[in-house]
Homo-oligomer: A and B are copies of this chain.
Amino acid sequence: MVDVDGVDRVVDLAPYGVVSVEAALGDPAARAAADRAVAAANDGDPLLAGLALEAPVRPGKLVCLGYNYRGHVPDGVDPTTDDPEFPDVFVKTPNTLGGPHDPVVVPAASLDVDYEGEIAVVIGRRASNVPLEDALGCVGGYTILNDVSDRAWQRRQSQWAMGKCFDGFAPLGPWVTTPDEVGDPQDLLVEVVRDGVVTVSQSTATTIFSVAYVVHHVSRVMTLEPGDVISTGTPQKLPEAAEAHRPLAPGDAVTVRIERLGMLTTRFIAPEPAAHASKGLA
């Protein structure tokens, strides 16, 4: 994306030999090609506003964290007292991936659909057993994930997969912002807006596990590949929003906005009638 005379436009990197975002993120030659493309941008390039964007990467692995932000604590209380020793990690399956303009179907079988606004770390180069001090060097960029979850399905058993893995429950985007444009990933305000009301507003300064730690930690178990995504968990809802919890329904929209990463607005819609007809199945 490039600003041409105050208008956001998009440059095509294919003529510059860049074939995929996943391969480009960790590749200095691709970065140089992108810089050349941006320098050559002009008002003949397509308008960003006119494009229907797909998910900016197709992650081979979409790994997520639970409970990674500290809640508010009273004055004088050490906020780290109840910190867990290890991050709680779960997986979303590939059928969950959605683009930034894709609506989310409220599934026929769903019971209590909720949102989670999160910073998603996009891996830029292969990482296995990466030391903590080298971990940020494996990050290719950052984007936004709405970790859509069905709370009732999530709580039916010990593992959360059935609440997390409905088709389309991972809208991602709108784009990947590279680390040089993000700066310190532990100094970003994460906000969620539902029905015009801010329901989440908390800085990544209050995460329990930093981006660097999470990349290091996960890479001890699984080899991370370019394009893989680790989503870093959602902040708590503000108390009044938590009290006013209402499952997402067709017609609702949720916006996640994160400093320097943009905004991800997701509309929720009803299933097609054919799918709806099977709702009554045991």
Residues of A within 8 A of B (CB): 60-61, 63, 66, 84-96, 107-109, 128-129, 131-132, 153, 156-162, 165-167, 216, 218, 220-223, 225, 275, 278, 281-282
Contact = CB atoms under 8 A, between A and B. Distances in A.
A167 B91 contact: no
A81 to B, nearest CB: 18
3 smallest beta-carbon distances between A and B, as pairs: A91-B91, A88-B157, A129-B278
19 contacts: A61-B93, A66-B158, A87-B157, A88-B158, A89-B157, A89-B161, A90-B91, A90-B161, A91-B91, A95-B222, A96-B222, A107-B220, A131-B278, A131-B281, A132-B282, A153-B221, A159-B160, A165-B222, A166-B222
One complex includes copies of this chain to the number of: 2
Contact of A223 (B61, B156, B167, B223): B167
Interface hub of A66, A89, A218 (most chain B Cβ within 10 A): A89
Nearest to A271: B129
Nearest to A153: B221
Contact of A158 (B60, B158, B218, B222): B158
Given A60-B94, A108-B129, A129-B108, A84 B157 contact: yes
B278 A167 contact: no
Contact of A159 (B90, B93, B165): B90
A256 to B, nearest CB: 22
